[in-house]
Amino acid sequence: MVHGGCLCGGIRYEISGKLDKMHFCHCQMCRRGHGTPFANYVAINPRDLHYMQGEELIARFPSSESTVRTFCSRCGSNLEFSPRTTPDETWIASGGFDGDPQIRPSFHIYVDSKAPWFEITDNLTQYPVSDD
């Protein structure tokens, strides 16, 4: 079981199922949404995500025709990245986890649009666009 929440503590959640994949995303939308050179997400089945408190604080933003992003309406913390094309998969922003999720990043995506001033120095697989 993985627990997490937002910066202000208004939203708390738990993930009861398997954490599938963890990756770094370098696309411009993720960079802008997180205010960092890349975002870090973990894939889960959305049925395994349970909000324990603060569900009324969740705001949704359709960042593209195929994706909805969620965040805390009070503090702005990123929560989910949900592709409309894969309803059995959502991606959780791993920065909100309370402890060690026991999974590690295995690849980078959208490296063709990474911040030009950021250098990737690990040996993980790099996909120019996406791993799909």
Q: Where are the domains of the chain?
A: 2-126
Q: Quick: pLDDT tens for 40-75.
A: 999 999 999 999 999 999 999 998 888 899 999 999
Predicted pLDDT of residue 131: 52
Residue 95 pLDDT greater than 60, yes or no: yes
pTM of the model: 0.89
Residues linked to residue 110 through DSSP beta bridges, in sequence order: none
pLDDT higher than 80, residue 85 = yes
Phi and psi for 37 in degrees, rounded to 5?
-70, -15
Q: pLDDT per residue over 9-52, tens digit each?
A: 999 999 999 998 999 999 999 999 899 999 999 999 999 999 99
> How far apart (Å, rounded) are the C-alpha atoms in residues 86 and 71?
20
Q: How far apart are CA 77 and CA 91, in angstroms?
A: 14
Sheet containing strand 49-53, strands side by side:
2-5, 12-15, 49-53
Q: How far apart are CA 46 and CA 43, in angstroms?
A: 9
Q: At 117, list the tokens.
A: 């001033």
Q: Is 2-126 assigned to CATH 2.170.150.70?
A: yes
Contacts of 87 (CB under 8 A, 6+ apart): 46
Adjacent-strand bridge partners of 3: 14
Residue 87 has pLDDT above 90, yes or no: no
